[in-house]
Structure 1
Amino acid sequence: MTILSGFLGAGKSTLLNHVVRHHQGRKIAVLVNDFGQINIDSDLIVGRDLKKIELTGGCICCTIQKDLLTGVINLMKQVEKPDHIIVECSGAADPVQVLNTLSSPLLRFHLHVDGLFTVIDCSQLLKIDGEYLELVGRQIDAANLLILNKTDLIDSQGLKQVKHFIRKISPSAVMLESIRCQVPLDLVLGFKELPEPKGAGSFKEMDIHVHEASGQGRIAGILPAVPSHQMKSHNLVFESWSFKSVAPFTKRAFKKVLNNIPPDIIRAKGILYWDDLEHPTVLLNLVGQWIDIDVHFNKEAFPMETRLVFIGKSGWKKRSDIESKFNDCLA
């Protein structure tokens, strides 16, 4: 089993798609967790003979731990068990808590977590600050393989600074440079050469990524309780908002809004439906100030409608009039 971690927009789903498209005959099962109510990541992962479980409505490191455990157990009960299971965490997740869940007595004798991989956006890493940097540090420190993604977006000096920053947190994890997460599959599926991931007991509790509702999402007697004074909801750090519409956007008006997106939005992704006859549906990816609109994604899997998820700093939605601006852009 592999746990796939990384901050918002680092490239986790890109890596997962690379794996499922080139799995070399292995039976792969994936569990995909998206922090927002719309699981865009799961929709974009397509592969033959792929078992896929969506985990929505919360984060697998805290509020829906039980859903993660149940999903894995159900996979192991199937007659044709998968050769390899990959768990994609949300960008807001603490991977140490996910590792803790997957190390429970219910799974210990049936599954082995051989990899905890963290994907790093080299172009954004040094721009992250505050509580978010604490989370990224946690994701880096927990990993036994660090995939330095988007190296084409920075120069050699910038990459050197990124590596120096990483080594201060994780002196020994293997680092692998990549563009669009194109990495050798042997490293992802059951490698043997890399060091074992650190056990959950090696880390202190991270107070900004445990749900404030006492015991919610945890499994009594299996997962350790967290002291109430250490509990703090994801919603105090991240805020997610979704937008859906079957009516198309006016392309010119939407682009104007997009180019003036609130700075507190960290990540946006999803399907855009607009009044472009040649490309009526496109895939939107936004990370910080970087925006990409892809017209060549697998459109057959999606209806003609807009489905977008925005994740930002706590309270960004109240400070923004983005919803009314989007409604004004509808044709």
Structure 2
Amino acid sequence: MDATTKKKIPVTIITGFLGSGKTTLLNQIIHENPQTKFAIIENEFGEIPIDNDIIIGAGDGIFALTNGCICCTLNVELGKVLRHLVDKEDDFDHLIIETTGIADPAGVAAAFVSDMKVQSTFELDGTVCLVDAAHLEETLEKQDEVAAQQIAFADALLLNKTDQVDTEVVAKVQQIAQSINPYAQVVTGSFARFEGINLLNLQAHQTETIERKTHYIHNHSHDHTHLVSRSFSFEAPFDEEKFKLWIYQLLHVQNKGIYRIKGVLNFAEKDHKIIFQSVKNQFVFSEGTLWDTDSPRTSTIVFIGQNLNKKVLERRLNSCLKKSYLAGV
């Protein structure tokens, strides 16, 4: 198949705090998909790769990165493994990365958008975060930043161990998780079993998925300690040049604590929706579907990160709107 048209290999990142059930979930996925050839990158913080002996059925496709975290100290090693897998792409159908319990998944995801060789072979399908329903509140109190980062970056939040708590606690945990990340799909389960979601086919970075999810998000804010989500909607179109310049400055110059941005934008003189998403300071614009001629062209954008000032963001976004439309021209 021609290199320009070949199908990319989907990538699933499994994250979650220590003891949340990540390796159990990984085993479930392998067991339930016997026809899929997996490559597994396993990150453990200790020097000895214990989890390799716990993962069942992956054969020789396990790559252990130990004594460090792939979101930071082992990020270079992760890049080396990914480039090695590029040459082995015919040997597997899906790549799964299980991060250490103290990893920021944004640093892992960035590896797939910062290297052109890796980017041409792999495609992020989604990041799933295991949440221990019995201990989330305690975890956030003790390790707020790391656990909250994992929840904030996820495309799907899997509330695990719900059999250990009553329904009121499950509802409260779900509310906390959604207050940190209103964008993610939330599913409850026990023993790392979750119904009604295909974890290998989230298509979280596809334009259709982003369009569908942002359709239900309106102007609102959620705060959980230092972590916040800020959502905005605008009826007037954006000036494309101004918006892109501001986003570049925001993510490359002023980037302090922005974990993720996703949006469906109306650029002046554009007939298609423009899909915007960022991973750390890497970002991409892509063309979505045509705007409905019978509906308003409402831009919606969601920011998730630390200490995001809603008024400042709103003022900056307003400054990127097309002035002629604001003047009624």
Instruction: Summarize the alignment of residues 56-67 of structure 1 with structure 2, pairs less than 5 Å apart.
Output: 56-67=66-77
1:90 is paired with a residue whose SS is coil
* Letter of the structure 1 residue corresponding to residue 173 of structure 2: V
Q: Check 1:160–1:204 CA distance in 2 against 1; reply closer, same or farther (3 A cut).
A: farther
Where do 5+ consecutive residues of structure 2 fail to align?
Answer: 1-10, 215-250, 259-279, 282-329
Task: For CA contacts below 8 A with separation 6 or more, give which structure has more relative contact order.
Answer: 1
Q: Does 1:93 align with 2:103?
A: yes
Counterpart Cα distance in 2 of 1:88 and 1:118 = 10
* TM norm structure 1: 0.57
What is the CA-CA distance between 1:160 and the residue it aligns to?
1.0
Across the aligned residues of Structure 1 and Structure 2, the Cα RMSD in angstroms comes to 2.9
What is the CA-CA distance between 1:102 and the residue it aligns to?
2.2
Residue in 2 that maps onto 1:8: 18
8 Å Cα contact 1:19-1:185 kept in structure 2? no
Residue in 2 that maps onto 1:109: 120
Counterpart Cα distance in 2 of 1:53 and 1:99 = 17
Q: Which runs of structure 1 show a deviation greater than 2 angstroms over 4 or more consecutive aligned residues?
A: 183-186, 190-198, 201-207
Deviation readout 1:90-123 (Å, 9 max, x if unpaired): 0010111111122222311211111111010000
Counterpart Cα distance in 2 of 1:79 and 1:117 = 23
Counterpart Cα distance in 2 of 1:11 and 1:155 = 19
Instruction: Summarize the alignment of residues 258-269 of structure 1 with structure 2, pairs less than 5 Å apart.
Output: none
Aligned-residue sequence identity (percent) comes to 30
8 Å Cα contact 1:27-1:49 kept in structure 2? no
What is the CA-CA distance between 1:47 and the residue it aligns to?
0.2
2:70 is paired with a residue whose SS is coil
Q: Does 1:21 align with 2:31?
A: yes
1:126 is paired with a residue whose SS is helix
1:187 is paired with a residue whose SS is coil
What is the CA-CA distance between 1:156 and the residue it aligns to?
0.5
8 Å Cα contact 1:20-1:50 kept in structure 2? no
8 Å Cα contact 2:23-2:51 kept in structure 1? yes
52, 59, 63: which is aligned to 2:62? 52
* Letter of the structure 2 residue corresponding to residue 117 of structure 1: V
8 Å Cα contact 1:75-1:82 kept in structure 2? no
Q: Does 1:177 align with 2:188?
A: yes
1:116 is paired with a residue whose SS is strand
Instruction: Summarize the alignment of residues 1-331 of structure 1 with structure 2, pairs less than 5 Å apart.
Output: 1-47=11-57, 49=59, 51-78=61-88, 80-106=90-116, 107-130=118-141, 132-183=143-194, 187-192=198-203, 195=209, 204=255
Counterpart Cα distance in 2 of 1:27 and 1:99 = 21
Residue in 2 that maps onto 1:220: none
* TM norm structure 2: 0.58
8 Å Cα contact 1:15-1:181 kept in structure 2? yes
Deviation readout 1:186-225 (Å, 9 max, x if unpaired): 6121334784699xx6995569xxxxxxxxxxxxxxx98x
2:41 is paired with a residue whose SS is strand
* Letter of the structure 1 residue corresponding to residue 115 of structure 2: P
Q: Which moved more, 1:70-79 or 1:142-151?
A: 70-79
Counterpart Cα distance in 2 of 1:121 and 1:76 = 34
2:127 is paired with a residue whose SS is strand
Q: Check 1:79–1:118 CA distance in 2 against 1; reply closer, same or farther (3 A cut).
A: closer
Counterpart Cα distance in 2 of 1:170 and 1:94 = 15
Where do 5+ consecutive residues of structure 1 fail to align?
Answer: 208-222, 225-331
Q: Check 1:76–1:184 CA distance in 2 against 1; reply closer, same or farther (3 A cut).
A: farther
What is the CA-CA distance between 1:42 and the residue it aligns to?
2.1
